[in-house]
Structures are given as structure tokens and as C-alpha cells.
Structure 1
Amino acid sequence: MSGDRMDKQRICAVFDYTTFLGTSSSKKWTFSEALKSFTPVFGMVWNEAVKDSKTPEERLWENALKRLSSNHSDESNLIDLVKLAKREGIEEIKLVMPYALDEQQIEHIQAGCDVHIKVGKQDEFIITL
């Protein structure tokens, strides 16, 4: 196999921003989230134990619920989402939006986090990190 090279599998995620907006506005704290916020050491140990059992896409969703806000602009949230995805090793995000992003929004997001955004079908965007 000297001439062959093994291609590693790309880590991709699908993120439905419409679902995120609905979920984030009605989010209630779980017992473990409350415990982690009041006892930081427990939170660190818990996060490491749970991190290994979840996919990068699941961790992205959870982190997005903690970090993004429906009070922020969509561009700001999407820039933060891309930064979270990079930390999880995600290389591509299929972003489903409730509406199409205009060219200026796309350029702002691309410039804000050094990514490439390709317009997909309807209100879907492929973000390559």
C-alpha cells in the first residue's frame, strides 16, 4: 500500500437554525446544567465524561444552545456557530435557515470566521470550515 493513501472521513454536521430559534427561546435548565453552574469542578468532570459519548454534531447543538442567543443578530450567532464547530473538529456545516441569507450577510459571516459559504437549495447553505 505504498502508493495508496487513506482518506480520513470529513466531519460534517447539519444545523437547523429555525429549530434552534424555537428551542433556545423555550429552553429550561436540566438538573445537571444547574449543578454544573453552581459547582464548576463537577461541571468539568461531567463534561469530559459526557463528551466522549456524543458526536461532534450533538456537542455542537448543545454548545449552540448555551452560547448563541435569539437576542443577537443572525450573523453574530452564525459566526459563533462556526467557531464552535471548528472547536469540535467539524469541517462542514449544512445550515438550514428559515429564510435566505443575502449576499452582504454571507460576506460578513465569511469574513468574520474565514470560511466559504455556498448557497444550496432553497434556504440551505453549505459552510466549509
Structure 2
Amino acid sequence: MRYTFLLYTDPADLAHMTPEDWAAEKEVYGAYIGALNAAGVFVDTDWLQPVTTATTLTLKGGTQVVQDGPFADTKETLGGYFVIDVPDLDAALAWARKCPAAKTGKVEIRATAMGAE
């Protein structure tokens, strides 16, 4: 079963980070990706640009509306994701607990709907 981890963080918590802090953070995430790969559960990941670069589009009501910024104005923003393939939610939770984002923000875990019956 595939699970996606949506990684949420408050950008204010990252504002103080130096280039050295970011380099260390990348190493921590690199080690996590390495562990996922070694376990044979890694599918995909991406780190997103800051929410300030977001553009939102809707065609609701038949009219295109393009908005600068995110869909929702929230304190915590989506910063990236992981997709893993594990047997069940318990295994997904075990990997989510190891995710570096869980220590500074939140990890939302969602099972895939593709192929679900």
C-alpha cells in the first residue's frame, strides 16, 4: 500500500536558519531517504519552494481565477512530501515517526486512493 507523507512546517520556525543549518538539515533528510531506500519502501519525494512562490488556480463555476499565494492562509504550510510503499498504516506510522519533519512540524499520512477498491 502506498502512503504519502505531507510535511507541514511553520515558516517562522525556519526563518532563523543559516546556510549551515540548511546544509545540516539536508544531511538529516538524506539519511532518512537512505534508510527508506535501504528498507525498500522509498517511492518518491520532493522539497517544495516556499509558500510565498505559490500560485493557485480554480475553474470552479466555469471561470478561471488565478491567485498569487497558497490556497489557504495558514500558519503551517506544505513544504514537501514523501511517498512510501509499506504493508499497512502501522508501518507507515513507524516511518512517519522517523521523518525529520515530525520533530519540527507535522506529518500528515494519507493512503493512496489509486487502485483502492
TM-score, with structure 2 as normaliser: 0.27
TM-score, with structure 1 as normaliser: 0.25
Between structures 1 and 2, the one with greater strand share: 2
Between structures 1 and 2, the one with greater helix share: 1
- The higher-RCO structure (CA 8 Å, 6+ apart) is 2
